[in-house]
């Protein structure tokens, strides 16, 4: 039997604007949740997913920045990730977000970051990420801090997008 993906929270929603709580205990329940997050991310054709996006305000995220059907998946599960260094050199990528369907924006972020995190086996890691991987990590860590890509764009464009998502949420609620 195939596991059903978790429900993705669509903006605006208060959980998406709230800083997530750190994880104090890594156990089988958390590992199962991380696996469910990966299932959800892949089913949604995303490259990253943070726990607040599925309604859980905890500092965990999953990513798989490999974007080719020819390459094997390279999933990562990060617990309590923290950016410890950012390069001064900027990079711009067109970003989308599973919590903001069909919305894309060019976002400028540091081109490289160093990220410290714990994996599901309770082993600490530190990685230096560059390019697309750096962008994905920063985007997902933003979610853990209550920040959306909408917070990186102009107020006019943000207000227009929020109106669109409020209407989308209402339309979805009316269907259900």
| 170 vs 33, more confident | 33
Q: What is the pLDDT of residue 1?
A: 47
What positions carry a catalytic annotation?
Answer: 140
Question: CA–CA distance from 30 to each of 15, 37, 43, 60, 106 (Å)?
Answer: 19, 10, 20, 9, 33
Distance, first Cα to last Cα, the chain: 25
pLDDT at 56 over 90: yes
Question: How do strand 90-97 and strand 100-110 relate by DSSP bridges?
Answer: antiparallel
Q: How confident is the model at residue 66 (pLDDT cuts 50, 70, 90)?
A: confident
Q: What is the pLDDT of residue 2?
A: 58
């Amino acid at each position: 039997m195939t596991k059903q993906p978790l429900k993705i929270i669509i903006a605006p929603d208060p959980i998406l604007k709230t800083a997530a709580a750190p994880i104090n205990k890594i156990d089988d329940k958390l590992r199962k949740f991380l696996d469910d997050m990966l299932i959800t991310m892949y089913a949604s054709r995303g490259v990253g997913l943070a726990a607040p996006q599925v309604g859980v305000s905890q500092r965990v995220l999953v990513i798989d920045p490999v974007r080719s059907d020819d390459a094997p998946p390279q999933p990562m599960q990060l617990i309590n990730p923290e950016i410890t260094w950012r390069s001064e050199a900027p990079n711009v990528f067109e970003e989308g977000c599973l919590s903001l369907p069909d919305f894309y924006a060019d976002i400028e972020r540091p081109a490289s970051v160093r990220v410290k995190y714990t994996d599901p086996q309770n082993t600490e890691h530190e990685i230096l990420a560059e390019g697309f991987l750096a962008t994905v990590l920063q985007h997902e860590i933003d979610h853990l801090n209550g920040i959306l890509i909408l917070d990186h764009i102009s107020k006019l464009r943000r207000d227009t997008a929020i109106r669109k998502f409020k209407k989308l949420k209402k339309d979805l609620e009316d269907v259900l």
